[in-house]
Amino acid sequence: MYANETVQPSGPAEPRLILFDCDGTLMDSHHHIILVMQQAFTDCGLPKPTAADVSPVIGMSLTLAVQQLLADQEEVVQLDVEQRYRDLYHSMPAGYDLFVGVRETLLELAERGYWLGIVTGKSHAGLQRVLQEFDLAKHFLVLRTSDHCASKPHPAMVLESMAEMGVAAAQTAVIGDALLDIQMARAAGVRSLGVSFGVAGSGPLLAAGAEAVIDDFSELLAYFPPLQTADALTTIRP
């Protein structure tokens, strides 16, 4: 666990709404994403990108990620790769799983009175597949995906989630593994905590403004104690 002594929370220590990134935060899926992207390039007759090429765009919308990886290619080529990625992602065996402690920690946070949500670069269909596969839908009250919102680091996903749940920036926190997550949180004016087991690692996340970086998912519980007010102890949204 690494604390950022230069960052002070902009609101109370006990926010109401906690918004999670998905890939690299809830799920150990980066290796799968990289393999699928590499195969999509190969199938489209393009040089295979390295893991170092793909990692920085994980968390973006697929369209934006492909555009960045193929900035020197025509749009038709980008669209071909994007479609091939979609086809492969849904046909290749799932090479991912939840990080240790995710399910138990989500349950405990909900029992402590927090409202939970997901803000992800996945498509709505892709996120629903994950929620169904791992039986996670029951934990989350609000979802935002890149096909319905501007891609990270734009703050739209956070701002729309706050509006839907009726909470202020001081009552909201974002948890993520990528610089895009921390940048999105800062743009929305909310707290952010990083996880060290995803893309960016502790140093870059702290430098980007994360309040702290955790090494184990269950460490989140130290930052989100049980809510004290009576009306906060319900998991029913307003």
Does position 27 have pLDDT exceeding 90, yes or no?
yes
How many beta carbons lie within 10 A of that of residue 19, not counting itself? Answer: 31
| Lowest model confidence (mean pLDDT) among 18-22, 37-41, 116-120, 234-238 | 234-238
Q: Which residues contact 13 (CB under 8 A, 6 or more apart)?
A: 225
Query: CA nearest 197: which of 49, 17, 27?
Result: 27
- Region 165-186: what's the mean pLDDT? 96
Does position 7 have pLDDT exceeding 90, yes or no?
no
3-state secondary structure of 175: strand
Does position 231 have pLDDT exceeding 60, yes or no?
no
The DSSP output letter for 76 is H
| Lowest model confidence (mean pLDDT) among 83-97, 114-128, 185-199 | 83-97
Burial of 237 (0-12, 13-18, 19+ CB in 10 A): middle
Q: Identify whether 153 is preceded by a cis peptide bond (ω within 30 of 0).
A: yes
CA distance 215 to 235: 27
Does position 86 have pLDDT exceeding 80, yes or no?
yes
Q: Which amino acid is at 190?
A: V
Does position 59 have pLDDT exceeding 90, yes or no?
no
Predicted local distance difference test score (pLDDT) of residue 131: 95
- Region 165-177: what's the mean pLDDT? 97
pLDDT in tens, 87-118: 998 787 667 899 999 999 999 999 999 999 99
- Tell me the average pLDDT of the chain: 89
